[in-house]
């Protein structure tokens, strides 16, 4: 089978290779991958960024995928051939002695792993996954659209659990990458008024995509007024919440300027360098500074509902590449010339 695989712990060291089709262990399911997305964490690993030292030096990337069951291990009873599934990306074997499992936050357990970083993932024609970490795709949901379940679950966790957005809330989403776009969609589904901000670089594909799905956008950066000035045209008193999804340390540091007193700032991005925060500014406005990490099963189930309800227009937000063009997909994702790359692995 073909697989896009990292071969060394150095920058951009990944290539398409031929591997044997894996054989499922007794508790595993062999799946034929349909579509697999390139995630921000895949990019960080591909670029060998600091903070990704735990990623295996040799591993098949990919944790955002949809697939069809081919074969099951001897102890698997819940799955059969031709069933369709997505995978829970951050995997923690359930243990009632683990407080994070009891809280419904297994993604925070120290025992967690990411399939696609710590064991072989879905940028391949076939993959084996433990049956505990598979969820059935609702009937009628297109496999290409279903490949967005994992990133949408991350947005659902951020908006629904960590930021608590509700009807008529005024929300800024900083960063129009796929997580930012999906956070905006999640917030809008709850009745919020949402503005997306990005840079001139984002005008290539990301901000036009945001406008195409009905969002107002703001361009920030050199040559443009700061966000705090531009946002007053929409929210004179500032936003109720700002979701920082760009990964820009400066954007997070300055977020307090665009949020009303007693508002909320939630960081959902991954940052490649330390963020220098003036916490006194947040304190004087009593702004809640929160973080949101990954997602759990309940977030996936809510993501399924949004996908079923037509909240996500994949024709605008995604670009399809063949598995053989995976390297180009990574390059285009790095250069911001694609909003969301989905690899066709079929």
Do the strands 14-18 and 2-6 form a parallel or antiparallel pair, or are they unpaired? antiparallel
Does position 203 have pLDDT exceeding 90, yes or no?
A: yes
pLDDT recorded at residue 45? 93
pLDDT digits (tens, 9 = 90+) for 66-93: 999 999 999 999 999 999 999 999 999 9
Instruction: Kindly tell me if the per-residue pLDDT of 51 is higher than 90.
Output: no
Q: Is the per-residue pLDDT at 273 higher than 90?
A: no
Q: Is the pLDDT of residue 179 over 90?
A: yes
CATH top-level class of 2-148+318-344: alpha beta
pLDDT band, very low/low/confident/very high, at 332 (cuts 50, 70, 90): very high
The pLDDT of residue 229 is above 90: yes
User: Measuring CA to CA, which residue among 168, 123, 122, 137 is closest to residue 329?
Assistant: 123
How is 22-71 classified by DSSP, letter by letter? P---TTEEEEEEEEEEPPHHHHHHHTT-TT-TTS-SSEE---EEEEEEEE
How many CB atoms are located within 10 Å of the residue 282 CB?
18
- Give mean pLDDT, residues 224-251: 95
Confidence tier at 286 by pLDDT (50, 70, 90): very high
What does the pLDDT look like over 209-226, one tens digit per residue?
Answer: 999 999 999 999 999 999
The rounded mean pLDDT for the chain is: 96
The pTM of this model reads 0.95
End-to-end, the C-alpha distance of the chain in Å comes to 11
Q: Tens of pLDDT along 25-40?
A: 999 999 999 999 999 9
Average pLDDT on 238-242 reads 98
Q: Which residue has the tokens 């007053």?
A: 232
What is the distance between the alpha carbons of residues 126 and 30, in angstroms, rounded to a whole number? 7
Q: Is the dihedral of CA 233, 234, 235, 238 positive or negative?
A: negative
The pLDDT of residue 35: 98
- The pLDDT, as a whole number, for residue 274 is 87
Is the pLDDT at 270 greater than 90? The verdict is no
pLDDT of residue 50: 84
Query: What CA–CA distance (Å, rounded) separates 123 from 14?
Result: 11
Burial of 97 (0-12, 13-18, 19+ CB in 10 A): exposed
Query: What value does the mean pLDDT take over residues 92-114?
Result: 92
Q: Give me the mean pLDDT over the 155-177 stretch.
A: 96
Q: What does the domain layout of the chain look like in residue ranges?
A: 2-148+318-344, 153-291
Which superfamily does CATH assign the domain made up of 153-291 to? NAD(P)-binding Rossmann-like Domain (3.40.50.720)
Mean pLDDT over residues 122-127, rounded? 98
- Identify the pLDDT of residue 271: 86
Task: Over range 298-305, report the average pLDDT.
Answer: 97
């Amino acid at each position: 089978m073909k697989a896009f695989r990292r071969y060394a712990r150095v920058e951009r060291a990944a290539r398409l290779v031929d591997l044997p089709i894996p054989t499922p262990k007794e508790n595993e399911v062999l799946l034929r991958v349909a579509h697999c997305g390139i995630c921000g964490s895949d990019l960080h690993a591909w670029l060998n960024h600091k903070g990704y030292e735990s990623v295996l030096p040799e591993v098949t990337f990919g944790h955002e995928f949809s697939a069809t069951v081919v074969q099951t291990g001897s102890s698997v009873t819940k799955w059969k051939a031709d069933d369709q599934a997505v995978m829970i990306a951050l995997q923690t074997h359930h243990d009632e002695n683990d407080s994070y499992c009891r809280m419904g936050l297994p993604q925070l357990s120290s025992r967690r792993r990411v399939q696609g970083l710590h064991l072989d993932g879905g940028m391949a024609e076939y993959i084996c996954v433990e049956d505990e970490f598979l969820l059935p795709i609702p009937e009628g949901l297109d496999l290409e659209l279903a490949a967005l379940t994992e990133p949408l679950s991350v947005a659902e966790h951020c908006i629904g659990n960590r930021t608590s957005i509700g009807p008529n809330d005024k929300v800024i989403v900083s960063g129009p990458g796929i997580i930012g776009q999906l956070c905006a969609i999640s917030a809008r589904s709850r009745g919020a008024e949402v503005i997306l901000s990005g840079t001139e670089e984002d005008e290539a594909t990301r901000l036009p995509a945001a406008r195409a799905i009905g969002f107002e956008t703001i361009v920030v950066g050199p040559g443009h007024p700061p966000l705090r000035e531009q946002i007053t045209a929409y929210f004179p008193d500032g936003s109720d919440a700002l979701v920082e999804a760009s990964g820009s340390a400066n954007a997070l540091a300055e977020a307090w300027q665009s949020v009303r007193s007693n508002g909320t700032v939630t960081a959902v991005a991954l940052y490649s360098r330390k963020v220098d925060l003036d916490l006194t500014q947040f304190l004087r406005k009593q702004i809640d500074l929160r973080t949101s990490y990954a997602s759990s099963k309940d977030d996936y189930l809510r993501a399924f509902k949004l996908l079923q309800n037509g909240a996500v227009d994949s024709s605008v937000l995604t670009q399809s590449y063949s598995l053989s063009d995976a390297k180009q997909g990574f390059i285009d994702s790095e250069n911001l010339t694609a909003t969301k790359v989905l690899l066709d692995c079929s």
